[in-house]
Amino acid sequence: MSRIANIISTAHYLPTRKVTNAELNERFTALGNPDVIGKFAASTGIEQRFYAPDDWATSDLALPAAQEALKRAGRKPEDVDLIILGTDSPDYITPATSVVVQHKLGAKNAGTFDVGCACASFPTALTIASGIVATNPGIKTVLVIGVYMMHRLADPTDAAIFFYGDGAGAAVIEAGDKPGFIGAAMQADGSYAESWGIYSGGTAEPASETSVKEGRTQVRLTKRYPPEINDTGWPKLFHRLAKENHFTADEVDQVIFTQVRKPTIELAAQNCGVPIEKCHMIMDKWGYTGSACIPMALDDAISLGKIKPGNLVVMIGSGVGYNQAACAFRM
């Protein structure tokens, strides 16, 4: 009997504190930079974002999405065999955030690990989960989570904080004999590793009083990150994924891209040969939620009826480093 990974439920969690562009504009006007938020808004389509409570960690943000995904799947925490969590804003450098979530969730029978390829983490994690489910009969239920709380690791006087909204999304993966996971494609270019990231606190530069004072333990955009990385990279991945897995753009019902910039999605959709109406977007209402944006958009599209059982869905994520990952599922 074949064991094909299927997405049997999805869920997301959006915290309640809304931070509008107007609020950020007031802050940066007072700092002597009155135009920056308006420019970012015009170039991205982002209108607002949401922040978790100040006393929450990333694991706290992941928990309600995980709980809701299990509820919708009709599963209990103790039914989970494996938790895979994708984030680049973890609770700690070590231990893994997934093991913290395992304890908070009460998933006492689950193994765990984190995936750390930034905003490409969710399609990467889905691909890993699909392979594990397909080849391990003893692993029946996998909980995949994408979660993001980068604003907590940013300098509030750095205008790039415009891009950091909090959120979480989750999916429950189980084996079945009907079409589910179809395939994946990935690409990367580590020459951009020093362009955007947190550069003190690891072994390259352990945290010190000096690095903290100079802001190197906070997330920074240090070099230009060319938009063509996504403009051309996403269609390249899409066409490769389609060719290697024998489907066409016309057969795709929905493409979920990383939700960072509306014009990039519009251009990528055109170059993929997919109508923009088949590319659900959430960045306008929820902001950019990094590692969580793809599962959040996926769940939102399902709830709105844009994705139905049997539909072919492609997810394409892009994260700093850079990493890019795509996967295709029959829902």
d(Cα 156, Cα 51) in Å, to the nearest integer? 13
Q: Is the pLDDT of residue 1 over 80?
A: no
Residue 242: φ, ψ to 5° = -65, -45
State mean pLDDT over 161-185. Answer: 97
What residue ranges do the domains of the chain occupy? 4-179, 182-281+289-330
Same CATH fold assignment for domains 4-179 and 182-281+289-330 = yes
The pair of structure tokens assigned to 200 is: 């003190």
Model pLDDT for residues 22-78, shown as the tens digit of each residue = 999 999 999 999 999 999 999 999 999 999 999 999 999 999 999 999 999 999 999
Provide the greatest CA pair distance for the chain. Answer: 65
Query: Domain 182-281+289-330 belongs to what topology?
Result: Peroxisomal Thiolase; Chain A, domain 1 (3.40.47)
CATH number of 4-179: 3.40.47.10
How many residues are listed for the chain in this entry? 331
Answer yes or no: are the C-beta atoms of 169 and 298 closer than 8 Å.
yes
- Label residue 126 by pLDDT band (50, 70, 90): very high
pLDDT tens readout for residues 182-220: 999 999 999 999 999 999 999 999 999 999 999 999 999
Residue type, 7: I
pTM of this prediction?
0.97
- Which has the closest alpha carbon to 119: 310, 288, 280? 288
